Amino acid sequence: MPTSELTRERDLRESKPLWADTPRIGIRTRNTPSSDHYDTIVVGAGISGALVAHALQRPGQSMLIIDRRDPVMGSSVASTAMIQHEIDTPLTKLRKMIGRGAADRAWQRSARAVLRLEEIVSALGISCGMARKPALYLAGNEMGSRALKAEVAAREEAGIKARLLDPAELRNDYGIERTAAILSDISASANPAQLTAGLLRHTAGAGAEIISRLEITDLRNLGDKVVVATAQGKILSARNVIFCTGYEFLKLLESPKHQIISTWALASAKGMDLPDWLQSHIVWEASDPYLYLRTDRDGRLIAGGEDEENPTSYLSEGKLVSKAQTIRRKIEKLLGVDIGEPEYRWTAAFGTTTTGLPLIGAVPGMKNVYAVMGFGGNGITFSQIAAEIVAAAVNGGKDPDADLFRFG
C-alpha cells in the first residue's frame, strides 16, 4: 500500500513553531527495531503517543514507538498548549447535541484529565514549564452575556466550578471591554514539545524502543497478531497496535463526523510589556473565528485562532502572513497592546469532530487495533483521556466513559 493511503502526510511547510527552537526536545532514537514482534506498537511519537505509551507500559512487556518524523515534530510541536478542561463545545450546546448526562460526563472527564496530567508531570519530574492558570472565556459573537450565564449554571449543575464576570469586573480587573466572561480553574499551560519529549524519554528509560523515520504503510490482522508493514519494507507484529497519528489519521476511519481544518498561531518577541494578570491566566473567546492567547515564561505572548474549515488552507504562504496580522490586530483591540512583528508564526491542520469530542477506541472491523483522533483545540487534555481509555481497553477493563468517544 503506498504511504499516503494509510495516514496522509501533512507537513507544516514554511511555518516554524516557537517550541521547535526550545531546548530538551530531542529524543535518542534507534534506526531499526531490535525485534519483529512486540507486545505493543504505538504509531506516532507526539503527545498522544507519548501519553498512551506511558499509560500502557508494564514491566516485562515489550513496546515499540514508531514515527515517520523525528519524535515530537508532528502537530504537538505546533500546539499553543493551553491545557484546558473547557471543551471547545460549551456544555449548554453539548447537552443539546448528546444529552445532558453524556455531556456532563464529558466535561467532568475533561476536568479530571487536566488534574491527572498535572500529577503525571509532577510524578515524573518533567521540566516543561507546566503551570496552573485560570482561564478567562470572553463573550463574543457566538455567545453573549445571557448565553455565558446559562453556561455557568450548566457547569455548576455538573459540579464544575465557574464564575460569571460582569463588564465592570472585566474592566477593573482585566482592562477588557466585553459584556461578560467566565473565569474557571483547572487549566494550565506548558511547553508541549518538552512535555512530549519528557514523557517519551521516561518511557524509553523504562524499556520502550523509539524508532524515528519509520513509516507504517499497511495494517492487517493475522491470527491473534496485528501485522504492520513499513515503507522501508519491514514487517512487524504486535499483540496490540495503537494509532496516535493525530490529524494524519487512519484513512479507514474517514467519516463525515470528523473534519480536518486549518489553524494559525504566532509568538511575539520575548519580554513584552503585557498586563500583569496575563502571566497567570489563559484567555479565549466565544467567537467564530476565535482568538486565544497566553504568555510563556520568557514574556512572549502566544496567540492563535482564525481557523478555516479547509484542510489545505494552511499550505498558503500568503495566509501565514495575513492571518498573523489579523491575530496581531485582534490582540491589540482586546488588550490595547501592539505586540509588533511576531518572532514566530506557524500554521497546521488539525482534526475536529461535529460534537467537539475526540474519537478514541477500538478501530471498527479490526482486532486489537486502537486509534485516537479528532482532538480539536484540546489535544493535550484529550490525549490524557485517550491514554486512560486505551489502557483500560487493552488491559481488558472497561472505562465508564468509553462510550462517549468510541468510533462508529
Ligand X SMILES: Cc1cc2nc3c(=O)[nH]c(=O)nc-3n(C[C@H](O)[C@H](O)[C@H](O)COP(=O)(O)OP(=O)(O)OC[C@H]3O[C@@H](n4cnc5c(N)ncnc54)[C@H](O)[C@@H]3O)c2cc1C
Point out which residues bind ligand X (CB under 6 A).
Answer: 6-7, 43-49, 66-69, 73-76, 78-83, 215-216, 244-246, 248, 263, 265, 304, 348, 350, 375, 377-381, 383
Q: And the C-alpha cell for 86?
A: 473547557
Q: What is the nearest approach in angstroms of ligand X to the Cβ of residue 81?
A: 5
Q: What is the nearest approach in angstroms of ligand X to the Cβ of residue 169?
A: 25
Q: Can you name the residues that pair with 370 across neighbouring β-strands?
A: 242, 362
Q: What is the nearest approach in angstroms of ligand X to the Cβ of residue 148?
A: 21
Q: Can you name the residues that pair with 389 across neighbouring β-strands?
A: none
Q: Which amino acid type is present at position 65? A: I
Could you give the count of Cα atoms lying within 13 Å of 394 in the half-sphere of its Cβ? 26
Q: And the C-alpha cell for 78?
A: 505546533
What pairing do the DSSP bridges indicate for beta strands 181-184 and 187-189?
Answer: unpaired
Q: What is the nearest approach in angstroms of ligand X to the Cβ of residue 88?
A: 10
Q: What is the nearest approach in angstroms of ligand X to the Cβ of residue 48?
A: 3
Full strand arrangement of the beta sheet holding 344-353: 163-165, 181-184, 135-138, 282-285, 291-295, 301-308, 258-267, 344-353
Closer CB to ligand X, residue 176 or residue 265? 265
Q: And the C-alpha cell for 116?
A: 491527572
Closer CB to ligand X, residue 41 or residue 273? 41
Closer CB to ligand X, residue 1 or residue 96? 1
Nearest in space to 394 (alpha carbons), one of 42, 33, 107 = 42
Contacts of 171 (CB under 8 A, 6+ apart): 177
Q: Which amino acid type is present at position 298? A: D
List phi, psi (to 5°) of 15: -90, 155
Closer CB to ligand X, residue 30 or residue 171? 30
Closer CB to ligand X, residue 111 or residue 244? 244
Closer CB to ligand X, residue 96 or residue 321? 321
Under 8 Å between Cβ of 17 and 346 = yes
Closer CB to ligand X, residue 40 or residue 378? 378
Q: Can you name the residues that pair with 191 across neighbouring β-strands?
A: none
Question: Among all chains, which residue has been given the C-alpha cell 460549551?
Answer: 90
Q: What is the nearest approach in angstroms of ligand X to the Cβ of residue 233?
A: 14
List phi, psi (to 5°) of 311: -70, -15
Q: What is the nearest approach in angstroms of ligand X to the Cβ of residue 364?
A: 19
Closer CB to ligand X, residue 172 or residue 322? 322
Closer CB to ligand X, residue 140 or residue 379? 379
Nearest in space to 360 (alpha carbons), one of 323, 388, 341, 328 = 388
Other beta carbons within 10 Å of 309? 10
Residue closest to ligand X (Cβ): 379
Distances (CA, A) of 81 to 84, 155, 190, 193, 336: 9, 23, 6, 9, 24
Q: What is the nearest approach in angstroms of ligand X to the Cβ of residue 147?
A: 23
Q: What is the nearest approach in angstroms of ligand X to the Cβ of residue 406?
A: 17
Question: In whole angstroms, what is the distance from residue 230 CA to residue 244 CA?
Answer: 16
Q: What is the nearest approach in angstroms of ligand X to the Cβ of residue 323?
A: 11
Closer CB to ligand X, residue 91 or residue 211? 211
